[in-house]
Every structure is written in structure tokens, then in C-alpha cells.
């Protein structure tokens, strides 16, 4: 499947019409989130690197045009304006790892109108999915309070690409490893994995399974102890780990049941066996809420393995995001629809120390020394610098998180920071643009002889 055809049909129909009308002047589109999901005090910007990779290689080829024509039941000649279209525009964006809030642009695209319009669907898909998963994963890191968290989500995410993205953004916000081999190999994330219950069931006893696994893996091993009776499983693991003298590096994994109670009993068994260095790993339906409860309750769990609920952002799996035209051919534009009005003009987000974010017009001076968040990352369809690294994104995340109010970092009873405010210049441009649109609408009604509703 071509990336060029991975789009909504209306992107094609609009681009086709723009070409016919000769509307190829520069247009700026802004991608932003209208409101934070419930129980979220912040979002973590993510998905920019894959988005830039897509824009860099986008080209509409003959096969794509034939697919467009077949879908529309139109002659190929009607779509020839799209043939050879590449992205040759500019992108300004919030770097990955930074914290963002409702109403703030995550990125802005400026390009000839057909190009800027055509990339909407792909950019929304990349930015929204990865931002929502990164934000969920970040809350797990907060809940774990310094204990390692690892990604076990691949088998439950919505496809292998989503699983890869989940592993990547989880590493960005501080996860210690992933079970995803492709992500570990390609991105340099530490691999993390143990064994399945089926492995234990294939042997005559748990102890036989544990010894066989240890023979195959002479380094530190993690033994899954809850296939049958968990307490007996821990005892069997303790015997194997004692015989192998793997206490300093070995671990056991609890995957079901009352994890707090089981962890306390397991810790007691391991300590009595002279294995205080054996760690306890917990998994099985965990997310930030469960991790927070276990940590606050004092469960002796050393590592948290999270999967389904985090890789799918189960409690808030989507963002109310939009990609809206804010300027065309130098003319600010805006949408006035009830509850979905937008602000016109290319923008910048200014972040001041300990203060409210301000959204201004791109190019205006920062208020009170605020830091501009959006950076130019692409010009002429080419990156302005080398690809960003996970390490750099993680450092940005950690710095922003450290300055976030405790009320926004909470797992329950979250209070997000106040919504960003428009700068005086943006407020003036918005009022002027609104007035112009409303006047034009009134004139159109007057010419038609109709009465407004």
C-alpha cells in the first residue's frame, strides 16, 4: 500500500479541485488538540519524527493516480494534476518529548495549498496516536515513582505499526525496556522478556521448566511463577535461583491475582531462602492507576510491565484533534462554527517560567521572555537538521515534567494548568478576521435576498 493513498478521499477531491482552480498559493494549517482527555493534566508531544519521514519521501506516482481515479470512478486524466506531487513546504513543530496543552499547535505546515491539504490525514494519524500513548506511558512513569517500567504491549496493540510506535514513545518518556524485538533492534531500546505460561505447561513440573530455561539462558533469568499455585511457584523458583547462584540478577514475575498480597508473600519466601537480591516483576492488566495503587500500598514490586491498557491508551484512546487552515495566500482565515471556532494566522506558543502559556502570532516578540516552543524543522520539503534522538526527546520530557505543577502530575483528581491565553496581537488578528468574515456573510445574504436564520 502506497503512503500517498493512505489518506481520506476528501483530501484527494479537494486537492483535485485546487489544481483545477489554480489555487496553489502558500497555505498554513495548524494541528492542535481542542481539549485534554479526562484525567490528563498534560500531553507529551510525539509522532513528529515519523511525520517528517513521511513528508520527506511523499510522492504521488502513476499507480497512486490510478487508485484515486478508480476510487472516484473518474477518468485518470481528471487526476493528472496530482501526478508527481511532492511535499515542498515548511514545518514548524513542538519537538518530541515536550509537554503541551489544549489549544496549542503541535505543528504547523506551510506549503502550496494542495500539498498542505493532502498531508492532513497522515499527520493527524501519526501525531494523535503517538501523543496519546506517550501521555499514558508518561503517567505510568510518574506512578512508578522511580521503579523501572517496561513495555509489554505489542501483542495487544492495534497492529504491529502501533506496537512499534508504542515502544518508541514509551522509551521517550522513560520506560526501561520493551518486549518488542523490532523496536529494540532498530531503536536501541533494551529488550525485556521472560517466558509464557505455555512454556511452563510444556514441562512435567514448574521446576523442570525453570531449570530448562536457566540452562538455555545462562545470564540472569526471570521466572514466571503463577501458572499453578503462586506460592509453590515462588518456592520452586527460589530453589532454582539458589542452585544457580543467580540471586543478584534473577527475578520472578507475577502475572495475575492480588498482586499486592502475592508480592508480599513472594518477598518473604525469597528472603527466607537467602535471595534478597531477586527482584519481583509484576504484569497483567496494569496501567498508571494500578501501578499507583500498588506503589502507594507499599507492595514490594521492583519492576512494572505494562501492556494492553497503555499500548492502546485504553481509558482515553483518542484525541479531539484538528488540522485547520489558518492562512491562505497571506490572508488569515478561521472557522466560526459553534463550539469549534478556530483562531487565525500562523502561531507560536510561548512558555514562561512558572506561568501560563501564551499563544501568539508567529514572528511576534515573546512576552516577558517566554520561550518559543515551535521550531522550524523542515524547509522546502527537507529537514533543517538531522533526525532527533530518543535521548534528546527524553531529556526534554524530564525537564518539562520537573517544572509541571503537582496538581497536573496527579494520577487521580488531576487539575490541568489553566488554558493558554492569546497574546494581544493574536486577539486583535482574531477579532479583525472574525469581523471581516461576518461582514462578508452579511453581504452574501443581502445579495441573495435571503434572511439569515
Residue 225 in this model has a pLDDT that exceeds 80: yes
Residue 42 pLDDT grade (very low, low, confident, very high; cuts 50, 70, 90): very high
Q: Where does 166-254 show beta strands of DSSP type E?
A: 177-178, 222-224, 251-254
Task: Write down the pLDDT at residue 440.
Answer: 86
CATH of the domain at 206: 3.20.20.70
In tens, the pLDDT along 400-425 reads 999 999 999 999 999 988 889 999 99
Tell me the whole-structure pTM to 2 decimals.
0.94
In tens, the pLDDT along 99-158 reads 999 999 999 999 999 999 999 999 999 999 999 999 999 999 999 999 999 999 999 999
Structural domain tally of the chain?
2
* Domain final position from 295, 311, 327: 311
Neighbours of 155 (CB within 10 A): 11
CATH of the domain at 103: 3.20.140.10
For residues 119 and 225, state if they share a domain. no
Residue 79 in this model has a pLDDT that exceeds 60: yes
267 Cβ neighbours under 8 A, 6+ residues apart? 280, 300
| Cβ contact 31:319 at 8 Å | no
Kindly state whether residue 244 falls inside one of the protein's structural domains. yes
For residues 125 and 165, state if they share a domain. no
Task: Write down the pLDDT at residue 2.
Answer: 85
Separation of alpha carbons 3 and 125, rounded Å: 12
Rg over alpha carbons for the chain, rounded to the nearest Å, is: 26
For residues 236 and 352, state if they share a domain. no
Kindly state whether residue 11 falls inside one of the protein's structural domains. yes
Question: Phi and psi at residue 328, in whole multiples of 5°?
Answer: -140, 130
Average pLDDT over the chain reads 94
For residues 303 and 320, state if they share a domain. no
Kindly state whether residue 453 falls inside one of the protein's structural domains. no
242: enclosing H helix or E strand: helix 230-244
In tens, the pLDDT along 267-297 reads 999 999 999 999 999 999 999 999 999 999 9
Neighbours of 394 (CB within 10 A): 17
Kindly state whether residue 452 falls inside one of the protein's structural domains. no
For residues 160 and 293, state if they share a domain. yes
Separation of alpha carbons 439 and 431, rounded Å: 12
Give the structural domain span for 262. Answer: 144-311
Query: Which of 6-20, 222-236, 247-261, 314-328 shows the lowest per-residue confidence on average (mean pLDDT)?
Result: 247-261
The burial of 422, by beta-carbon neighbours within 10 Å (0-12 exposed, 13-18 middle, 19 or more buried), is given as: middle
Amino acid at each position: 500500500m502506497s503512503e500517498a493513498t493512505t489518506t481520506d478521499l476528501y483530501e484527494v477531491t479537494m486537492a483535485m479541485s485546487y489544481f483545477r482552480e489554480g489555487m496553489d498559493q502558500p497555505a498554513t494549517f495548524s494541528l492542535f488538540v481542542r481539549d485534554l482527555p479526562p484525567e490528563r493534566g498534560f500531553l507529551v508531544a510525539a509522532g513528529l519524527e515519523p511525520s517528517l519521514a513521511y513528508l520527506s519521501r511523499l510522492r504521488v506516482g502513476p499507480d497512486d493516480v490510478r487508485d484515486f481515479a478508480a476510487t472516484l470512478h473518474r477518468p485518470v486524466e481528471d487526476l493528472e494534476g496530482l501526478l508527481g506531487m511532492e511535499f515542498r513546504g515548511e514545518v514548524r513543530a513542538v519537538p518530541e518529548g515536550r509537554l503541551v496543552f489544549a489549544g496549542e499547535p503541535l505543528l504547523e505546515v506551510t506549503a502550496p495549498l494542495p500539498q498542505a491539504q493532502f498531508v492532513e490525514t497522515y499527520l493527524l494519524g501519526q501525531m494523535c496516536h503517538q501523543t496519546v500513548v506517550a501521555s499514558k506511558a508518561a503517567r505510568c512513569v510518574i506512578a512508578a515513582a522511580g521503579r523501572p517500567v517496561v513495555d509489554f504491549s505489542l501483542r495487544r496493540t492495534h497492529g504491529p505499526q502501533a506496537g512499534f510506535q508504542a515502544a518508541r514513545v514509551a522509551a521517550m518518556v522513560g520506560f526501561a525496556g520493551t518486549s518488542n524485538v523490532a523496536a529494540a533492534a532498530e531503536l536501541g531500546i533494551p529488550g525485556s522478556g521472560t517466558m509464557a505460561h505455555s512454556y511452563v505447561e510444556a514441562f512435567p513440573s514448574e521446576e523442570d521448566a525453570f531449570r530448562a530455561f536457566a540452562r538455555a539462558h545462562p545470564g540472569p533469568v526471570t521466572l514466571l511463577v503463577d501458572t499453578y499455585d503462586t506460592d509453590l511457584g515462588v518456592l520452586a523458583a527460589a530453589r532454582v535461583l539458589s542452585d544457580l547462584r543467580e540471586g543478584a540478577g534473577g527475578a520472578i514475575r507475577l502475572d495475575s491475582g492480588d498482586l499486592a498480597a502475592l508480592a508480599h508473600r513472594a518477598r518473604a519466601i525469597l528472603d527466607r531462602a537467602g535471595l534478597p537480591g531477586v527482584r519481583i516483576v509484576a504484569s497483567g492488566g496494569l496501567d498508571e492507576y494500578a501501578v499507583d495503587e500498588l506503589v502507594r500500598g507499599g507492595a514490594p514490586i521492583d519492576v512494572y510491565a505494562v501492556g494492553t491498557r497503555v499500548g492502546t491508551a485504553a481509558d482515553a484512546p483518542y484525541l479531539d484533534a484538528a488540522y485547520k487552515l489558518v492562512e491562505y495566500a497571506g490572508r488569515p482565515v478561521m472557522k466560526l462554527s459553534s463550539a469549534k471556532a478556530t483562531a487565525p494566522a500562523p502561531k507560536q506558543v510561548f512558555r514562561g517560567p512558572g506561568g501560563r502559556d501564551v499563544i501568539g502570532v508567529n514572528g511576534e516578540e515573546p512576552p516577558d521572555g517566554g520561550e518559543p516552543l515551535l521550531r522550524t524543522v523542515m524547509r522546502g520539503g527537507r529537514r533543517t537538521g538531522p533526525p532527533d534522538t530518543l535521548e534528546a526527546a527524553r531529556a526534554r520530557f524530564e525537564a518539562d515534567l520537573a517544572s509541571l505543577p503537582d496538581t497536573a502530575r496527579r494520577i487521580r483528581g488531576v487539575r490541568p494548568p489553566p488554558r493558554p491565553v492569546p497574546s494581544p496581537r493574536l486577539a486583535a488578528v482574531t477579532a479583525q478576521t472574525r469581523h471581516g468574515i461576518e461582514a462578508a456573510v452579511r453581504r452574501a445574504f443581502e445579495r441573495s435576498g435571503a434572511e439569515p436564520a
